[in-house]
Amino acid sequence: MVHLLPISSDNKEVKIRLQTFVPYITPDRQISYDIPPVRQMFRVKTSRLVFLNPDKQEITFDESTRLNGIEIQMDNGRFLTVGKTYRIENQEQPGGALIAELFTKSNLTNDKMLCIFRPFNFHRKTSGVPLYQRWRCSAFCD
């Protein structure tokens, strides 16, 4: 089994050299353990998922944070747009339970973005990907 992890998006060619346990005779009548390399072309696409990194490690779900939200700073992601509301779900696949909304308020000078975070539901580390480490955000409204 081969596991490939791309570092950039584009057309990529992978060449894998393999060997056999038992030698075989090549077309030019020599003994070899090496078989011809396997070549495969891949088209690597960018992901629609955005993983965000907030400055607060824990956010308490209560009535005041649900109504007013809490200000947090996040890394300035390339998919985030100022003045837009994003939906945060509890799973990577579409159709997950709504955990929170994230409103992007303004850009800061330290390559961060000031946001308002409004939690709507509980989310624990044991119930999946920790909310404060990896958030799945999809566009919610303009």
Q: Which stretches in the chain have pLDDT values below 50?
A: 128-142
End-to-end CA distance of the chain: 44
Give the pLDDT score at 21: 93
Q: What's residue 136's pLDDT?
A: 44
Tell me which DSSP letter residue 53 carries: -
CB 120 within 8 A of CB 101: yes
11: Cβ contacts below 8 Å, ≥ 6 apart: 41, 42, 43, 44
Q: What pLDDT was estimated at residue 32? A: 92
- Asked whether the beta carbons of 50 and 70 are under 8 A apart, the reply is no
* Rounded-to-integer distance, Cα 114 and Cα 54, Å: 10
Sequence ranges of the domains in the chain? 10-44, 63-141
How far is 27 from 32, CA to CA, in rounded Å? 10
Nearest by Cα to 54 from 20, 95, 88: 88
Beta carbons of 80 and 48 less than 8 angstroms apart: no
